[in-house]
Structure 1
Amino acid sequence: MSGLVGDCMTRSPSDKDCQDCHGRSKPKACIKVNIARLHECLEFFELILDTVRQPFAVLKTDGAITSMNEAFSDLTGYSREELAVMSLISRLVAPELRDTCNMALSGLIETGGSTLFKSKLARKDGSRVPVELTVSLLCDEAGNPAFYTLFCTDVAEREKCEAALQESVVELDRVPGDYREGARFVIMLPAIEK
């Protein structure tokens, strides 16, 4: 990396460069962050991320939300001020999925890199939105976990389409075999809102 971004983050090329303060080896894909320079770069990053419609947040290693873009605020229904004092796990993740989320984040501290998993976020209005979360761990220059980056993908429409498709398959299975041969069927899927 070069320029402003390159001064903030580096991808370590070897296991030797990816050790934590206890000398434990981290994966080759760990990303080390110059924390002091990163604070200078944050304004630049936040400006870019606010133009992206993909919900994004930065979390401390305890799950506290430190910053987010407008799309993340829109997805959850909470203002940025409200989100800035919340923990992703204790306030936004559906209670029955909190252990899964905790395990995924804890696993990243051991393995480094990124992970993708499904969850449900609780919106301010009480509704829930199914999401896929892509989470990456960033380490400080000593190789210690510093924070997580989080990208959210709302999968509600995809799940509706999958359910409609499954319902169509069930309906097709009810049609006697003699009628299915040579017949053409139209599978009706719900319209996707834009």
Structure 2
Amino acid sequence: MNGLHTYINPAGARMLGYNTPAEVIGITRISDAHTPEDFKYVMEVCIPAALKNGSWSGENRLLRPDGSILPVDQTIVAIKDKNGRPSSMGSIMTDLTERKRTEQELQESRTLIESVVENAPFMIFVKEAADLRFIIFNHAGEELVGRSRKDLLGKNDFDFFPPEQAKWFTAKDREVLEKDGIYDIPEEPILTAKKGQRILHTKKISIKGPDKTTKYLLGISEDITERKLAEEKITELNEDLKLTVSKMETANKELETFTYSVSHDLRTPLRHITAFAKLLDKEAGDQLKGETRHYLEVISASAVKMDELITSLLAFSKLARTRLKVHIFSGRELAEEAAADIKGEHRDREIEWRIGEIPQLNGDRFMLKQVFINLLDNAVKYSRGKNPARIEIFSHSTGDETIIGVRDNGTGFNMKLYDRLFGVFQRLHTDQEFEGTGIGLANVKSVISKHGGRVWAESMPDKETTFYFSLPASDHEVKQAG
């Protein structure tokens, strides 16, 4: 046996990488068809086994002239002469290329599936149908139940869950195995080793084997404990909200009753006071001197002031209950309209007006005009000691909101009193200094809050004061805030 090929069929020649048997017979040797490592394996393992046992079978590799490797299933047979001594070796080979490719693809698919199962954020498990013992348990499942898979595999629910819970799980599993399709368990309580009681949303399905009989049970479980707690919290908040809404509705009804009372019950005695003061002045006006005259004047002035306060309070109450009529409009035009109204009332004043660029606004135009009028009216009033007075309207955008400012060079206020600035009937100056009811800025805050915006102010006494308010940008939806 010199290793030369003495016979090969056409299929064998092609497997070795040749076109015809003539290119192989008497020309190539066994060593030419193997890498040194594979040839060593053939000479030390395969051929000795064939000589000893008569044949050897197994997988081998052929080296082709172009350097490629061909996997084969090979049977080597020892051929003996008439004296019973080995004279040559015969070989039967089957090309394993397609089988190896299929095996590789199957292995890649298996690896992908195993990776998906292992890295899935939900617990995934597989049980044998016969005794419901776990045969697959992923990492998320280990984290959830608080046990390693080596403690889980080969065991069933009775090995680590309380008996009652294990019975419940087993009963559900048996239901799944008896049916086709997905079995959905929206809420499944489970006692874990480290996280205590959890709530799972589990889906299970039976898996059949090639013989169409049920072999396994697949389960996928999502821990919904936090979601359930959040839902319970939302439900609780909704109940609280319903109660709050109910209280607000009651309060609104009480406010309407109060408003009616203010409008009628309080104004009736006020009209009496005003009427009797006028009558007293008419009947005994010439006889009233000094302090007596002063007392009558104080009564009349106070009645007028009270009537103004009641009117302002009613307006504030009505504004608070009025719903917004939202649309988009020119902010610049609105500011100019409001300024024109104020200018008409103060033609005798020397005032420098500066109205900058103001973008489109999204809101209730009528209410926002009242905001501008209130702020501009304050600016004119508190700057009347200046000559000239300077009043400026400006704006800038931050993306989500538009910020508008009204600045004047008037008397200003002490920032230590800031907390009182936007309160109802809260005034930082006396009536002798500046007239007013203390409702204007409260109205401003109410309107802007209804639009989902903010109000604030900055002041340096005797230098300048700036009132700011913000509104959602015109491309943002304005929701009723009050």
2:151 paired with 1:112: no
Matched, 1:160 2:229: yes
Cα 1:153–1:91 shift into 2, 3 Å: farther
- The change in CA–CA distance for 1:178 and 1:104 in structure 2 (over 3 A counts) is same
Residue among 123, 139, 142 paired with 2:208? 139
Residue identity matched to 1:159: K
93 and 136 in structure 1: CA distance in 2 versus 1, 3 angstrom threshold: farther
Matched residue, 2:400: none
Distance change in 2, residues 1:105/1:180 (3 Å) = farther
Return the alpha-carbon distance in structure 2 between the equivalents of residues 166 and 101 of structure 1.
29
* Structure 2 portions without partners, runs of 5+: 1-106, 253-320, 322-449, 451-482
Preserved contact between residue 97 and residue 119 of structure 1 (Cα < 8 Å): no
Q: Is contact 2:122–2:223 with CA below 8 Å preserved after alignment?
A: no
Q: Given that residues 146 and 195 in structure 2 are in contact (C-alpha distance below 8 angstroms), is that contact kept between their aligned partners in structure 1?
A: no
Give the Cα–Cα distance (whole angstroms) in 1 for the partners of residues 142 and 195 of structure 2: 15
Alpha-carbon distance, 1:57 to partner: 0.8
1:70 aligns with 2:139: yes
Shift of the alpha carbon at 1:56?
A: 0.7
Structure 1 residues 29-68: aligned runs within 5 Å: 45-61=113-129, 62-68=131-137
CA distance in 2, matches of 1:180, 1:59: 58
Structure 1 CA distance for aligned equivalents of residues 111 and 134 of structure 2: 16
Change (3 A) 1:77 1:178: closer
Match of 1:128 in 2: 197
Instruction: With the length of structure 2 as denominator, give the TM-score of the two structures.
Output: 0.27
Q: Deviation per CA, 1:75-116: give whole Å up to 9, x if none.
A: 1111111111431x3256565544443332222222222111
Q: What residue number does 1:148 align with? A: 217
In structure 2, do the counterparts of structure 1 residues 169 and 97 end up closer, same or farther at CA, with 3 Å as the change threshold?
Answer: farther
In the superposition, relative to structure 1, how do residues 180 and 73 fare at CA in structure 2: closer, same or farther (>3 Å)? farther
Q: Percent identity?
A: 14
Q: Show the counterpart of 1:26.
A: none
Q: Partner of 1:111: helix, strand, or coil?
A: coil
Q: Would the alpha carbon gap of residues 126 and 168 (structure 1) be closer, same or farther in structure 2, given more than 3 Å must change?
A: closer
Tell me the residue number matched to 1:179. 248
* Cα-to-partner distance string for 1:30-58 (whole Å, 9 max, x where unaligned): xxxxxxxxxx8765532331132222111
Q: Specify whether residues 133 and 64 from structure 1 end up closer, same or farther in structure 2 by C-alpha distance, changes over 3 A only.
A: same
1:180 Cα deviation from its structure 2 partner: 4.1
Task: Indicate conservation of the 8 Å contact 1:92/1:122, yes or no.
Answer: no
Give the AA of the match of 1:132.
H
Structure 1 residue matching 2:178: 3-state secondary structure: helix
2:202 touches 2:221 (CA, 8 Å); kept in 1? yes
Map residues 86-101 of structure 1 onto 2, 5 A cutoff.
86-87=155-156, 89-91=157-159, 95-101=163-169
- Residue pair 2:123, 2:138 contacting (<8 A) in 1 also: yes
5+ residue gaps in structure 1? 1-39, 185-194
If you compute each CA radius of gyration, which structure gives the higher value, 1 or 2? 2
2:182 and 2:161 map into 1 onto residues whose CA distance is 19
2:179, 2:206 within 8 Å by CA — same for their partners in 1? no
Q: Distance in 2 between matches of 1:47 and 1:176?
A: 52
Partners of 2:155 and 2:249 in 1: how far apart?
A: 54
**How many angstroms apart in 2 are the aligned matches of 1:94 and 1:161?**
27
TM-score by length of 1: 0.62
Alpha-carbon RMSD across the aligned residues, in angstroms, is 3.0
The CA distance in 2 between the partners of 1:169 and 1:98, in whole Å, is: 36
User: Partners of 1:80 and 1:102 in 2: how far apart?
Assistant: 19
Determine if contact 1:57/1:149 at 8 Å carries over to the other structure. Answer: yes
Counterpart Cα distance in 2 of 1:94 and 1:177: 46
- For these two proteins, the number of residue pairs brought into alignment is 145
Larger proportion of helix = 2
Going from structure 1 to structure 2, the CA distance change for 1:59 and 1:113 (only over 3 Å counts) comes to same
**Aligned residue identity for 1:141:** P
